[in-house]
Every structure is written in C-alpha cells, then in structure tokens.
Amino acid sequence: METSQGEYFVVKAKDNGVQVIGLTRGLDTKFHHTEKLDKGEVMIAQFTDHTSAVKIRGKAIVFTKYGVIDTEE
C-alpha cells in the first residue's frame, strides 16, 4: 500500500443533497461512486486502491489531515 492510500477524511453536510464523489485511481479518472448526504449527516471515508480523489459538491465541512475546509469559503 502506498502512503497516499489509507488516509481518512470526514465530510459533514451543512445542507441537504451534498454529494461526495469518489474518483478512480490510475490512468482513468472517473467518477465511481456518488454518496448523497443530507444536512447533519457525516461520512467517514478513506482513500483506497480504487479511490485516489474525492470531489465534494454542496455546502459541507471537510476534515482532512491538512486542515478543515468549509466549501462555502
């Protein structure tokens, strides 16, 4: 396992319909999963062999080891 993998992140939705979109690892960068969160819902997820990037749509707070990011700021 590479060091880029296995890291966790947390998304807390501040609104209904927030989307957490997983993008594939490797030569192709494609959406492979969209998880929808409603207001107050929390998703705890990991970067994996299948997921190298994550795109977040909507109003949410994202917690990573690099800090806390509010998507509205």
What is the rounded distance in angstroms from the CA atom of residue 26 to the CA atom of residue 19? Answer: 22
Q: Supply φ then ψ for residue 63, to 5 degrees.
A: -110, 125
The least distance separating ligand TRP from the CB of residue 7, rounded to whole angstroms, comes to 10
Q: Are 71 and 62 in contact, with CB atoms under 8 Å apart?
A: yes
Q: Are 4 and 25 in contact, with CB atoms under 8 Å apart?
A: no
Binding mask 9-48 for ligand TRP (x = CB under 6 A): -----------x-x----------x-x---------xx-x
Does 51 interact with ligand TRP (rule: CB under 6 A)? Answer: yes
Where on the chain is the footprint of ligand TRP (CB under 6 A)? 20, 22, 33, 35, 45-46, 48, 50-51, 54
